[in-house]
Amino acid sequence: MSDLQILLVSIGVALIVAVLLYNAWQDWRARRSMRQTLPEAGQDVLMRDAGPRREPGLWQAGRPAADESPEPDPACEAVIDIALAHPVGGESLVEALRAIVRVGKKPVRVFAEREGGGHRAEALPGESYVSLQLAVVLANRSGPLTAIEWSNLWTLAQNLAERFEGLIEAPDQDVVLRQAAELDARCAAMDAQVGLILQLAQPRPVAAIIQSAAEAGFVQWRRQWAWMAENGLPRFVLQIEAPDGESTHRVDLVLDVPNSLPDDQAFSRMVTVGRDLAARLDAYVLDDQGRTFQDDAAPAIDRQISALYDRLDQAGFLAGTDRAARVFS
């Protein structure tokens, strides 16, 4: 083999190695990006499973759209597409889409593709749209998407298609229901809430309790009272099992792990705030089994919660994001 041939072979090998290294670097960068945006010790009585997946109650309202995307989330939503035969004005769509909010216990998001490109999370007057997408969450705390709920979404899609001369395209029902069951099982294993009970020595009016909570630093956030993180999301919330105008002898502090900001001292922070509020209310601090809480248990619970935050992140449901809220609500 001549020197020229050897040189050409060497250059070829070097180029192949360079391409492989470049592809590996691109893959690593893509994985890191997906992790940030769309990523896939003994038992303690305070680390309780969320139990049957259920809808949030009065004191567990929605959350702000911190990372809202103008497109469906394929990781946790099933989508029915409706291609419109001709552009439809936003004025006509607004009324038709207003009532599409949920099917059964599953929220539905509606997206409209503008004529000329781009999506809207809602149709706007003065614009024209060429297609619609109905995105229903595959699973939440009420359980996996059911055949009835999927059928109801189909009915809504058919009504829109008939009204605006559209053509429907959607995945097979069996595939959707299987994905829903798989997502529900995967997320249920990562769903947990941590609680503290403040047992008041004497019953107090709900209004007086809320006033004390506000003085301690709780703020009203949508339909609940919460202890907020620096980014404007709740760390934990106050729950009162009594209507306004009545009295109660119990207040709960609840840290909803998937819906809170990741924090290595998440539980310890709640204990500190709980002790302060208990002093204001003349209350005892108990664990969620009704036993006297010992503060030296907090570090171990912090470690359990931190491990759960990591599991959620690795599964693609970073705690405190809109994606997590879609499933863990």
Same domain? For 162 and 235 the reply is no
Residue 131 sits in a domain whose CATH number is 3.30.1400.10
Quote the pLDDT of residue 238: 97
Q: pTM to 2 decimals?
A: 0.74
pLDDT (mean) for 207-230: 94
308 assigned to some structural domain: yes
User: What digits encode the pLDDT tens for the residues 275-299?
Assistant: 999 999 999 999 989 999 999 999 9
Per-residue pLDDT tens digits for 154-206: 999 999 999 999 999 999 999 999 999 999 999 999 999 999 999 999 999 99
Quote the pLDDT of residue 10.
63
Mean local confidence (pLDDT), 55-70:
39
Mean pLDDT of 30-54: 40
Q: Which of 167, 188, 209 is the last residue of a domain?
A: 188
Q: Would 37 be classed as within a structural domain? A: no
Interval 20-30 mean pLDDT: 45
For residue 63, pLDDT over 50 is answered with: no
- Determine the average pLDDT of the residues in 236-253: 91
- End of a domain among 138, 153, 188? 188
| Total number of domains constituting the chain | 2
Domain-embedded: residue 92? yes
What is the average pLDDT across 300-308?
Answer: 97
- Percent of the chain exceeding pLDDT 90 equals 70
Give the C-alpha separation, 287 to 232, whole Å. Answer: 27
52: pLDDT strictly greater than 50: no
- 147 and 199 in one domain? no
**At 8, is the pLDDT very low, low, confident or very high (cuts 50, 70, 90)?**
low
End position of a domain, from candidates 188, 220, 235: 188
Residue 224 lies in a domain: yes
Q: Per-residue pLDDT for 42 more than 60?
A: no
Would you state the pLDDT for residue 22? 46
Range of the domain at 167: 77-188
